[in-house]
Copies of this chain bind each other. A is one copy, B any other.
Amino acid sequence: MSTFTLAQVAECNTTSSCWVIIRNKVYDVTDFIFNHPGGPQVIMDYAGKDATAAFVPIHPSDTLDKYLPCEKHLGTLDEASIRELRAANQSKGKSRDELRVEEAVKNKPPLGRMINIQDIEEIAKKILPYKAMAYYASAADDSISCVENARAFSRFFFRPRVMKAVSGVDPSTTMLGYKSSIPVYISGSALARLGHPLGEVNLTRAAYKSGILQMVSSNSSLSYAQIAAARGSSEQPLLFQLYKHKNDDIAARRIREVEELGYKAICLTVDALVPSNRELDTRASHYLEEYENEGKITRGNAADKSGDVSTLGTAGGLIVNNDLDMTWEKTIPWIRSVTKLPIVVKGIQCVADAVLAVEAGCEGIVLSNHGGRQLDYSLPPMEVLYKIRCERPDVFAKTEVYIDGGVRRGTDILKALCLGARMVGLGRAFLYAQSAYGEAGAIHLVRILEREIKFAMTSLGVRTIDQLAPELVERVDWQPLGSKL
């Protein structure tokens, strides 16, 4: 295998010849520059340089093998260059943001003091690097749907029943036939390693230990195989959240890969075909630049000058190459032709599409507006669920209905279940939990939800999940003041 010096690499810093260093290895990415999902600029920022710190946390380890032909894996740095690079990294000193995070980690309270989801979110936001926080927390435009997702739950109150036998309350249920200890699953969400080195694996292990299910994102920061390998047993069910590539062959290859790895369902994402305007995420690099410069605005880069309006943050690099012309008639049968796994459509946002999904024979649907991260002013899933209950209750008998977005409390979950949802997904909450406390954080989160669910079931006069019924909730015509938001 060839070795190179830093100087040799440094010469290849143009779009005609572009080399980068990742984990002391040298790659020729010239042909890939304009195919990079995250856009060419991000690569050119590291042309001829060490890209390790930027590359590692957001790419699964098999990325280079999968997407870069082996002849472009040129070789390694020589020993002297490796030493030089390490020394350079060490001498660089820490950024203000890194110092802030270090301080926050030092002051992190013990896990036992986290008594609700909100506690965990607050701590996580403090200990996350700013860019990671901005990616996790950001929502579309003015965050209306994101905020309303949570607020929708607060317009549903309970009509608890008393004098019911409730000893031995049991919150367990199933999803696509797989047992879950509580009616909650970990929803697919990208880039868990932005928050914790073990990333998605924290969640896989926590899911196993707490007896719940995990949906794995196409944009996970570990490879699908690494995640599958982290299962507690080969029986532990994983669901796969698919972003269908516009190229059917590539899409089919991905589906077959996860089926072979033992994943149990294909959850087709239909609400996030193009990158959205997530302003916290988009502004993150500007914010950081000013933060590191203690408030001074620099008037640097090209985008600033051109007035380009298309740069869209971390998320902009993930939602790419999707099939924009999927239809019920074409796409569902095509997936059936590729795999035997059950199909769940994730991102249903109105009654009419719930009905079409049933007619297309989907085994499940997720009422979701992508956590308010895509189209702002998309109706909150809880409102859509309520409409299905009022207008088309037959849907619940014909497919499994899940819901995600805005869930903060066990009571939120029970409200959704009373109206007909079978399971509730949480995404950001698990990202925050594993960011702040790793696997233990994710388990702790499940325990909190379990406690809240069991308490609320008892208080509603309900012993098992199937006793939850629409009559137990009421949509009120006022907005609670002390709402959690």
Q: Which residues of A contact B (CB under 8 A)?
A: 107, 109-116, 141-144, 146-148, 151, 154-167, 270-271, 273-274, 276-277, 279, 282-283, 286, 297, 299, 301, 303-310, 324-328, 331, 345, 347-353, 356, 369, 374-379, 383, 409, 411, 415, 440, 443-444, 447-448, 451-452, 455-456, 458-460, 474, 476-485
Contact = CB atoms under 8 A, between A and B. Distances in A.
Nearest to A459: B375
A110 B160 CA distance: 43
Contacts of A451: 277, 309-310
Given A115-B282, A162-B349, A411-B141, A110 B375 contact: no
A167 B246 CA distance: 11
Q: Work out how many copies of this chain go into the complex.
A: 4
Nearest to A313: B115
Contacts of A484: 142, 144
24 contacts: A109-B297, A110-B305, A111-B304, A112-B301, A113-B304, A115-B279, A115-B283, A142-B409, A142-B484, A146-B482, A147-B480, A147-B482, A148-B481, A151-B478, A157-B378, A161-B349, A163-B327, A166-B325, A273-B459, A309-B448, A310-B451, A478-B479, A481-B483, A482-B485
Contacts of A440: 307
B279 A349 contact: no
A209 B327 CA distance: 36
A335 to B, nearest CB: 12
A456 B353 CA distance: 18
A162 B347 contact: yes
B478 A155 contact: yes
Contacts of A158: 349, 375, 377-379
Contacts of A160: 271, 349-350, 369, 375, 378
Contact of A143 (B270, B374, B409, B482): B482
- Please indicate which of the listed interface residues A274, A301, A477 has the most CB atoms of chain B within 10 Å of its own CB: A274
- Please indicate which of the listed interface residues A156, A160, A163, A297 has the most CB atoms of chain B within 10 Å of its own CB: A163
Nearest to A273: B458
Contacts of A167: 324-325
A115 B277 contact: yes
A455 B274 contact: yes
Nearest to A473: B377
B165 A327 contact: yes
Contacts of A146: 482
Contacts of A286: 113
Nearest to A356: B163
A306 B112 CA distance: 6
Contacts of A113: 286, 304
A304 B109 CA distance: 9
Contact of A485 (B350, B383, B481): B481
A161 B458 contact: no
Contacts of A143: 482
B480 A112 contact: no
